[in-house]
């Protein structure tokens, strides 16, 4: 089935969860990748990849020593994406991973997959459709797992961002991150959308464990010592 129709079908059965009838445009995907500084990232996590509109652009921008994990809640979309990526010629030394799971349990998922703290988290999640409690839960998970100096990049449709839940999400970002920036509107997307990049001040102290795991996931983590996904995170 064509990607767009697959997303549309998922939207019809779970509108609140999918939040979009059609995949994002390449123009929006490029803006996301550019603002996420994907080309200098070592560990990238994508939340809500859907049919992979951002995923393909992210993978194209990663260096060969980077690791990538996508977390998709819909079983059908996760299966579709995993299968379509397996057919794609890749340049990464570790294969891109797609797991079916919920972003509210991000820390546990990363621990289970033995992933280091991501230096970039990219979201395709429909924030304006989520209840405030869900927004809070996911954002605090992102904030918890993000490496020091890491960035969180997401998008919002122009219009719905002014609705109650959209405004709540924007305020929430300010409580969790120190720097929150917004791109110009990408009009080539249907509907037009803009990108938000949120980051924290770099602090070397941030090391710890992913919830429920004994694995370290801080800047000190190393493949050889505990079998994590990367040798070290190079954050400058």
Ligand X SMILES: C[S@@+](CC[C@H](N)C(=O)[O-])C[C@H]1O[C@@H](n2cnc3c(N)ncnc32)[C@H](O)[C@@H]1O
The contact set with ligand X (CB under 6 A) reads 17-20, 23-24, 47-50, 53-54, 71-74, 77, 102-104, 124-126
Could you tell me the CA-to-CA distances from 47 to 95, 125, 203, 232 in Å, in that order?
17, 6, 24, 22
Q: Which is nearer to ligand X, 128 or 221 (CB)?
A: 128
Closest CB 219 distance from ligand X, rounded Å: 26
Closest CB 50 distance from ligand X, rounded Å: 3
Distance CA 223, CA 64 (A): 16
Q: Which is nearer to ligand X, 53 or 85 (CB)?
A: 53
Distance CA 173, CA 176 (A): 5
Q: State both tokens at 133.
A: 């409690």
Q: Which is nearer to ligand X, 14 or 226 (CB)?
A: 14
Count Cβ atoms below 10 Å from residue 203 Cβ, excluding itself: 9
Closest CB 126 distance from ligand X, rounded Å: 4
Q: Which is nearer to ligand X, 190 or 235 (CB)?
A: 190
212: left (phi over 0), alpha (psi -120 to 50) or beta: left
Closest CB 221 distance from ligand X, rounded Å: 24
Q: Which is nearer to ligand X, 53 or 153 (CB)?
A: 53
Closest CB 213 distance from ligand X, rounded Å: 19
Distance CA 126, CA 20 (A): 8
């Amino acid at each position: 089935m064509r990607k767009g129709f697959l997303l549309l079908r998922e939207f019809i059965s779970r509108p609140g969860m999918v939040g979009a009838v059609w995949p994002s445009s390449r123009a929006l995907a490029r803006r996301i990748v550019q603002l996420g500084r994907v080309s200098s990232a070592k560990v990238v996590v994508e939340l809500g990849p859907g049919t992979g509109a951002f995923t393909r652009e992210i993978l194209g921008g990663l260096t060969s020593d980077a690791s990538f994990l996508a977390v998709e809640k819909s079983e059908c979309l996760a299966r579709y994406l995993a299968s379509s990526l397996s057919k794609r010629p890749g340049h990464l030394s570790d294969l891109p991973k797609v797991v079916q799971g919920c972003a509210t349990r991000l820390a546990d998922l990363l621990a289970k997959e033995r992933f280091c703290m991501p230096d970039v988290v990219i979201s395709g999640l429909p924030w304006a459709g989520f209840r405030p409690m869900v927004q809070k839960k996911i954002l605090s998970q992102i904030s918890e797992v993000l490496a020091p100096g890491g960035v969180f990049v997401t998008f919002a449709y122009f219009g719905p961002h002014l609705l109650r839940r959209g405004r709540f999400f924007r305020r929430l970002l300010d409580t969790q991150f120190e720097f929150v920036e917004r791109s110009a509107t990408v009009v080539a997307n249907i509907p037009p959308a803009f990108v938000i990049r949120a980051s924290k001040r770099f602090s070397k102290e941030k090391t710890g464990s992913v919830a429920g795991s004994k694995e370290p996931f801080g800047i000190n983590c190393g493949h050889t010592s505990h079998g994590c996904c990367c040798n070290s995170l190079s954050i400058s």
